[in-house]
Structure 1
Amino acid sequence: MLDGHVLLGWLSSCALLGLLACAPRPSAAYFGLTGNEPLTILPLTSEMEEAAVKAHYKVCDRLKLEKKQRRMCRRDPGVAETLMEAISMSALECQYQFRFERWNCTLEGRYRASLLKRGFKETAFLYAISSAGLTHAMAKACSAGRMERCTCDEAPDLENREAWQWGGCGDNLKYSNKFVKEFLGRKPNKDLRARVDFHNNLVGMKVIKAGVETTCKCHGVSGSCTVRTCWRQLSPFHEIGKQLKQKYETSLKVGSTTNEATGEGDISPPKKSIPGHSDQIPRTTDLVYIDDSPSFCMMSRYSPGTSGRKCYKDKNCDSICCGRGHNTQSRVVTRPCQCQVRWCCYVECKQCTQREEVYTCKD
């Protein structure tokens, strides 16, 4: 998980997962974990929160956005705070989903910058989780009243619309999708890498849309449901991260072809059959990548490797340690135990000590 120093190192050497590090492409915009700005703006502090309210222009400038993105950020005071929230949420979820993997979503500057220059499946996940994070955060910001240009979702297909002002307020996915698509730019035509990045951005947005649920609340005498207020609500972002991790596991390697009908470039299975890779034509909901990933076992430009990484003996030490074996250390820890709820409003715990073994990968 991100500790304070790692999180503060997050928006890295060159901007947001959306503003691809050191190598911005003219046909697409980037944001979040794929951005050019140093991830040194996290975590949110009281100083940053105050700046977001009183001087959001400065926050937008600090994010080192592209010209169009900076203009969109400045036009609504709530956008800057929402962008920050999206970045933080995406980073934390990425590191949670990959906590047991060799690549554990290392976001320190030089590793992230190098990774984003290549079309690995890990890069595909970063694009998807970034666009999903922005879509989710923006829809929630609208319904929470933090934005000037949007409010609750309008849902003409739901019952009892007259009860909306009194009752539920849906997450505004319609506005959020429109904003994110404009923020990340139009579909590129020629460059394969730009098309792949654009495709993976859309996958993240589609997972958000697929997770929308209708929530209803009944009103009536003695619990009857004579009046029902309904609104649309997004799935928790942790569930979104889980689904994107599953898509990462089944991601497809692609190449480039030309659509004969439109003359535009398309992504497709590689022209040459590759052992161990599927020739399946990617769907619009599949994550796709261009380059085979490194092992991430040893320190490289893409990751610090797994030397010294904590592992779990019966769960992932063999995999994470890449066959090098692991060290075992014994330590005494103190934890709360035998906790009881006391009337009225607090929990009382004892402090128990126990010995535990810690396993770390050998060099």
Structure 2
Amino acid sequence: MNSTQDTTEIEAFLGLRTGRLPAAVFIVMAIVFGLPGNCISLYIFLFRMEKKSTYVIFVSFLAMFDVLTCAVHMPLELIDLVFPFHIPEWLCKCFRFNNGVLFMGSLMTLLVIAVSRYRHIVHPLKEKMSITTAKRCCGTVFVFSIFSAVPALVFNGNYAVSIGNSTATICYISDEALTTIFPALYLGFYWLVYCASVIILSMTYLVIEQTYPSAEHAFQHIKSLRSGDLNRAEAVSKAETALDAKRVGGQVLESDAWITSKDSVMREILESKLQHCSQFRSALKKIRKSDILVESTWDTYWGSGLNVTGTSHTLMQHWPGENKLGRILDGMAAKLQRTDENSATNNSSRSTRNKQGKKQS
């Protein structure tokens, strides 16, 4: 290769690398922020979660793919962007194989999570997925991801490109494989899997997602579904007011599964209401630490078991009801106030530092 050809290749290399610089900067940022964050998530879900569940297993498995993406795939992607003409063929094959495994593994894991949530919410009476089954699903996803990416070891390699009067190679489908139909079939398979997964994920979460007129509607509807009373579940969804929904839900014969889960359902509904209802959030912020929240109805589980007069004239330890709802709201109010106090403290600290900086300048 003469000096003119060398100069042409160098100029093309520098021009290509400059054009890819924004993508390279983005990948570096993704590595810097993504790798520590996913490592922390993986550590928490593997070693800090006291109660193991299918959710913990699936999220841990997905975090593992994310860690490998940040630690292995992205550095290889960065090399391909910055030094496209200097990748050995063996490294190119490993790069594309790794890309296929991580892509398919992450996608299939998201599908498994979506299906699991769909079964849990839409078909609550069906047998729940066990931890053993969840682990087997993860193993199946991992094996399928590896086998689906094996063709990358065959098809990918050095691809010759012309640069001026010279020829260089980049990491792509090899020259030999490019003349056959198999790479197109392989890439078409990935494209088909991706499109099908997007459709399944969208449809699944559209079915799961549901908006209720009130928290009472949500609670009574979920109660009816998990207790197997589909007729009253439909009647609750058509109830005009929260009181109507409560009356319909009061006729449902509670199942054992519902009795053990209704506290967590109530907490999730109220936390969702806290995010979407500014009036509810403002009301909780105004609660003083000395205040005691109580449901003043005859309900012996969620309330005090007394009416308003009886509740106000009876010591709390003598209430016949457990006041579960009041306790949940007390905890939410305290957590909300601690968050506001910490935010105010941080803002005050920043303001003090800014004032000191202005004085010094």
Bigger helix share: 2
Name which structure has the greater RCO, CA cutoff 8 Å, separation 6+. 1
TM-score norm. by structure 2 comes to 0.27
**Higher alpha-carbon Rg:** 2
TM-score norm. by structure 1 comes to 0.27
